[in-house]
Structures are given as structure tokens and as C-alpha cells.
Amino acid sequence: ATVTQTVINNPVYFGKDGRPAQSGEVFSASRLSIIHQLRLGHFHLDNSAHFQLFSSNLYALPPLYSTHQLYYKGAWFKKEMHVNAGFDVRLIPDYKGPGFHPLYGAFHVTDSDLFFYPAAHFFFLARVSSFRAMILMENITQSITDDYNFDVVGHPQNEMKLRFGIQWLLKD
């Protein structure tokens, strides 16, 4: 477990109208982070939970969030190809979400609630010597439910999409 404390005198923030402002108060943020990793053979479960307390609501941040990874990590084909495959899940309970002001390119406080939505992604990574390949299926939760995930008020996350990539490092 890790505890962090941040104190800011006269912080600058973006108000509910999206315009910059400066508070005459002291802003403090406390965070407790708990990280747990479990391994059973080639299977891994990595969990992290973060609890946050704020002295005032100058910044639209969730009081609680967690990330979880369940994946397989191993070597195939006579241990020549290293493979990682699994799921990455992010959980954020209901909270007053941030808005976005495109003119300033900044996030600001709102009175709108962002509701719980479990965001999940699938990944497959493979490496053979200097060649790497990856396949990502982002936002697979979209295929299970008709709801959209909002990390920012009024801006839905991307729909489910498939991404892939390769990297080949050529050596002399």
C-alpha cells in the first residue's frame, strides 16, 4: 500500500463555466493505493485500487477507481515466442465527471454524474527475437451492453474497435 499527500497553495483550476480561476484556499489531495499481484503458473491477476480524498471539489476526479488485468504469460514453440494474452478492466463508480472545454483544451468541474461502466479490453502480444506483434480489441464491453462509456461529460468513448500492429527491429 502507498499513501500520497499533495498540497497546493492557491491552485489554478477551471470552473463550471470552463473558464480559468484561482482559489485563495489550500487544496489537499490524499490517495491510498493498494496493489496486489497473484500468479498461478502462467496465469496472472494484477489488481490495483485507489482511494482519493480531496479538500474541495476543484478538480473532477473519482474518489475511487480500480484496474485489473487477468492474463496468460508464457513461451511457445520451444520457448522461442513469448506471449501475453488477456483482459484489462477499469472500474470507476458513479461520480461528478469532468467537462471538456475545447477552446482551452482543459477539463473543468461539472454538476453532471458519470455512471458506473466497466471498461474492458482484450490484448494479445507476441514477441519472437526482434519481431513483435499485437492485437487489441478495445472496449469489448460495448458488445455486451447498449450503453456508452463516458469518461468526460458529453464525450462518449470510442466504439469497440480492433487494432493491430507489428514492429520488426532489423539488426546488422
pLDDT attached to residue 122? 96
Give 38-95 pLDDT, tens digit per residue. Answer: 999 999 999 999 999 999 888 888 999 999 999 999 999 988 899 999 999 999 999 8
Task: Give yes or no for residue 23 having a pLDDT over 80.
Answer: yes
Region 117-146: what's the mean pLDDT? 90
Task: Give yes or no for residue 138 having a pLDDT over 70.
Answer: yes
* CA–CA distance, 92 with 157 (Å, rounded to integer): 14
Region 100-108: what's the mean pLDDT? 86
Task: Give yes or no for residue 153 having a pLDDT over 90.
Answer: no
Task: Give yes or no for residue 133 having a pLDDT over 80.
Answer: yes
pTM of the entire structure? 0.80
| Cβ contact 83:77 at 8 Å | no
pLDDT attached to residue 43? 97
pLDDT grade, residue 172 (50/70/90)? low
Task: Give yes or no for residue 148 having a pLDDT over 90.
Answer: no
| Cβ contact 30:125 at 8 Å | no
Cα separation values, 60 from 2, 105, 130, 162, Å? 22, 15, 43, 30
DSSP the chain: -EEEEEEEES-EEE-TTS-EEE-SSEEEEEEEEEEEEEEETTEEEEEEEEEEEESSSSS---SEEEEEEEEEEEEETTTTEEEEEEEEEEE--SEEEEEEETTTTEEEEEEEEE----EEEEEEEEEETTEEEEEEEE-THHHH-S---EEETTEEPPPPEEEEEEEE----
pLDDT grade, residue 158 (50/70/90)? confident
